Amino acid sequence: MRILGIDPGIAIVGFGFIDKQGSKCVPVQYGCIQTEAHTPEEERLLHVYEGMVQLIDKYKPDAVALEKLFFNRNVTTAMSVSQARGVMVLAAMQKGLPIAEYTPMQVKQAIVGYGKAEKRQVQEMTKMFLKLQAIPKPDDVADALAVAICHAHSCTLNSKLNEVLRS
């Protein structure tokens, strides 16, 4: 199963494709879509949308996992990121892909085993799970890979639960 993990943003969208092979997660491709700060918002949204469509077409994921948004202060940033997230969801839905959402706490729990883990701990574990030489940069990329790993773990758990329930 190929999973696309996404860390939503308007300036930087982190993405990470992994293949779930049994109990292992293998990195396929990762990086970010970046938009220029002083570009009109509608152009930035178009750039994010087109970038997402190109990535989906090229790497053909079976599922998409997004980090749920959490904002406690800046409403303007929240609105922009929410709109960007919407075009990402639209791109995935147009391709018929199932979408899963995870809170930052769920991702931390899945990666580190502790829902209040520090960002650095999550990055180190992501590097270890994927057998990478270094933590991917910028942080948004590492976060996207962590979301993809979280989904891979959740799929495994859900599959086992369904087996038990069918018995």
Active-site residue (options: 50, 57, 62, 67): 67
Residue 56 has pLDDT above 70, yes or no: yes
**Catalytic site includes residue 62:** no
> Backbone phi, then psi, for 33, in 5-degree steps?
-105, 125
**Catalytic site includes residue 7:** yes
Quote the pLDDT of residue 77.
Answer: 76
User: Where is the binding site for Mg(2+), in residues?
Assistant: 7, 67, 140
CA distances from 64 to 6, 61, 102, 107, 108 (A): 8, 7, 11, 14, 18
Task: Supply the pTM of this predicted model.
Answer: 0.91
What is the rounded CA–CA span in Å between residue 163 and residue 167?
6
In which order are the strands placed within the sheet that holds 63-67? Answer: 24-34, 12-21, 2-7, 63-67, 99-102
Taking only the tens place, the pLDDT of each residue in 96-132 is 999 999 999 999 999 998 888 999 999 999 999 999 9
8 Å CB contact between 28 and 59: yes
Under the banding of pLDDT at 50, 70 and 90, the label for residue 164 is low
